[in-house]
């Protein structure tokens, strides 16, 4: 669905450009300024429409009356906010580029990236301790992973519906606050948990599947049937399984009594965050032959689609034969057009897998075990 939206956006932008070319012939000779304003207006409308779809609240989503009403109010305020934000972002992009008439894809793409990044930030951000506690209660509610609609907003409303009633007020207050922060610079954006923390749930599942001891809470039958299904195929979890995995790990961390609650919640938020691959058309998933990352092999297609560039830092441990034992991405300095004031939360991990591939293929000196840290540069050629 999201890919369809992305295609729709592309088509709409092309139509906007065609309109720009065709209009003078039909209507005489508008000024360049008029045309630019018209194109901007079209871009604002397209982005608002895109946002409305991303925030769709399906009629058949089971929300009680007061929650649906609260959701509608949140939505209304959000759409009005986005309608004001996009023109401001357009102005910022032009100022940043030093091109007063910046337009077309060079303008629309950064705006699109910024919208996606705002959605990601909204997924991982905290609105304060009361909101965090309420969110923990919501995430651990038995039905938290029962209804997971396509739209992120609908997902959050479904989670609030499934949450204990005592948490609702704090959850809605948190939503209001988080949504009001769209477009602003976040001073207290939670750091991305380490790769080890984010991967811990998958590592635990590997151990459980292998019959090894893991200190964790029992899984729900829903999760257990996914994990222990005889015909299970390796691959990415769908959003229901991901939700159940994250919920299980959160419950396990909290039950252990040793975990940092803030970190446990951050891991939950990051592992259930939107996946930008949902926004990539199928045609862009294969990298063009010409697209390479210096000496690092083919550029990761999703990263290429979003023009993600920068540097990743790997920590690699080898044995005394120079064999790689463990590698993990420990930091990233990446840029994405349109994303400046805040971390590119939505795009941060897009170079990770390719980075680990490079680390795996790298030659390490033998003779002694090492723990080495090195950078890999990623530039679209």
Partner 1 sequence: MRLAVLTYRWCAALLLTLAGMTVQAQDQSPVYVEPATVPDTVAAAYRMGDFAELERLYAMYGKAGVRSELTGNPRVEHFWMGIAKIDDSNLQVTEGYYLQLDALTSLWTREHPRSVLAQLLYVRALRAHAWVYRGDGYANTVSPAAWAGFSKYIDLALGQLRRSEALATYDSSWNEMMLVIGRDLNWDRQSLMAVFEAGVAKNPDNDSLYFAMEEALLPKWGGDLEAVDRFIAEVVKSTRDKRGLEMYARLYAGLSYGELHQTLFTSTGASWPHMKTGFEDLLKRYPHTDHQNMYAYFACMADDRPTLREQLEVIGDKFEPIFWGDYPERTFEMCKKLAGQT
- Residues within the interface to partner 1 (CB under 8 A): 142-143, 145-146, 208-209, 211, 217-222, 224-225, 227-231
Contact 171, 127 (CB under 8 A): no
State how far the alpha carbon of 331 is from the alpha carbons of 34, 204, 351, 361, 373, in Å.
Answer: 45, 23, 11, 19, 10
Shortest distance in whole angstroms from residue 201 CB to partner 1: 15
Indicate the residue among 218 and 294 with the shorter CB distance to partner 1: 218
Q: Which pair of structure tokens corresponds to residue 251?
A: 């419950």
Which C-beta is closer to partner 1: that of 185 or that of 233? 233
Looking at beta carbons only, is 75 or 224 nearer to partner 1?
224
Cβ at position 231, least distance to partner 1 in Å: 6
Which lies closer to partner 1 via its Cβ, residue 179 or residue 227? 227
Residue 374: closest CA among 331, 340, 338, 325: 331
Residue 217 vs 372, nearer CB to partner 1: 217
Q: What count of other Cβ atoms lies within 10 Å of the Cβ of residue 185? A: 9
Residues 6 or more apart whose CB falls under 8 angstroms from that of 312 comprise 329, 331, 332, 333, 334, 351, 352, 355, 375, 376, 378
Rounded-to-integer distance, Cα 288 and Cα 285, Å: 9
Q: Which residue matches tokens 């901007």?
A: 40
**Minimum distance of partner 1 from residue 250's CB (angstroms):** 13
């Amino acid at each position: 669905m999201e890919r369809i939206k992305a295609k729709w956006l592309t088509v709409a932008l092309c139509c906007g450009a065609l309109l720009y070319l065709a209009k003078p012939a039909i209507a005489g000779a508008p000024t360049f300024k008029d045309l630019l304003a018209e194109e901007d207006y079209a871009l604002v409308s397209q982005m608002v429409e895109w946002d409305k779809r991303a925030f769709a609240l399906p009629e058949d989503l089971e929300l009680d009356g007061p929650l649906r009403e609260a959701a509608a109010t949140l939505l209304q305020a959000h759409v009005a906010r986005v309608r004001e934000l996009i023109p401001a972002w357009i102005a910022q992009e032009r100022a940043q580029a030093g091109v007063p008439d910046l337009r077309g894809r060079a303008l629309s793409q950064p705006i699109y990236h910024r919208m996606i990044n705002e959605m990601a930030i909204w997924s991982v951000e905290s609105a304060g301790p009361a909101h965090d506690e309420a969110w923990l209660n919501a995430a651990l509610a038995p039905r938290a992973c029962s209804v997971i609609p396509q739209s992120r907003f609908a997902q959050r409303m479904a989670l609030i519906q499934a949450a204990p009633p005592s948490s609702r007020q704090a959850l809605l207050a948190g939503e209001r606050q988080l949504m009001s922060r769209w477009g602003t610079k976040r001073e207290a954006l939670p750091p991305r948990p380490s790769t080890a923390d984010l991967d811990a749930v998958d590592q635990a599942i590997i151990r459980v599947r292998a019959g090894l001891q893991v200190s964790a809470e029992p899984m729900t039958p829903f999760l257990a049937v996914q994990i222990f299904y005889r015909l299970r195929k390796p691959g990415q979890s769908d959003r229901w399984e991901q939700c159940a995995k994250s919920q299980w790990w959160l419950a396990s961390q909290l039950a252990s009594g040793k975990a940092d609650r803030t970190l446990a919640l951050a891991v939950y938020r990051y592992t259930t965050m939107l996946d930008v691959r949902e926004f990539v058309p199928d045609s862009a998933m294969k990298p063009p032959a010409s697209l390479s990352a210096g000496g690092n092999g083919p550029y990761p297609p999703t990263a290429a689609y979003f023009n993600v560039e920068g540097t990743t830092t790997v920590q690699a441990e080898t044995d005394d034969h120079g064999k790689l034992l463990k590698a993990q991405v420990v930091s990233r300095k990446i840029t994405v057009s349109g994303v400046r004031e805040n971390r590119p939360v939505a795009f941060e991990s897009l170079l990770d897998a390719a980075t680990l591939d490079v680390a795996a293929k790298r030659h390490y000196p033998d003779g002694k075990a090492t723990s080495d840290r090195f950078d890999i540069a990623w530039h679209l050629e």
